[in-house]
Amino acid sequence: MNPTSTHSDPEIHALLQELWQRHLPSTRERLEVLENAVRDSAEGKLDETHRAEAQSAAHKLSGNLGMFGHKQAGEIAGEIEHLFKASGPDKVSRLNSLMQELRELLAPHM
């Protein structure tokens, strides 16, 4: 889905596209934080500092992705945030699945 496909006004569409492009570097950084945290969690190496960073990154992604029209990706980021709040060994496979889904949804837009 195009981040602005729900808007019919061409000016709004262009503005949202420009904003999306400007936010891409921070979006990529947040995704990298999540990728690293999910990997570290799977390896049993996720410390509290990195867990909190991942939770924050997921929270920010959830809001930003939704704002740019990536509703499903935003919901997945919100679920990842929730899992990092209540992280435990039983959450690792779910985190891996959600990250894969998030990557697939965002790949065409990154």
pLDDT band (50, 70, 90) for residue 3: very low
Q: What is the pLDDT of residues 68-88, one digit of tens each?
A: 888 999 999 999 999 998 756
Q: What is the pLDDT of residues 9-67, one digit of tens each?
A: 888 778 878 888 898 999 999 999 999 999 999 898 989 999 999 999 999 999 999 88
What is the CA angle 13-2-61, rounded to 5? 100
Which residues are within 8 A (CB) of 47 and not within 5 positions of it... i.e. 6 or more apart? 40
Distance, CA of 5 to CA of 57 (rounded, Å) = 25
CA distances from 7 to 53, 61, 106 (A): 33, 21, 19
Domain ranges of the chain: 10-109
pTM for the predicted model, two decimal places: 0.82
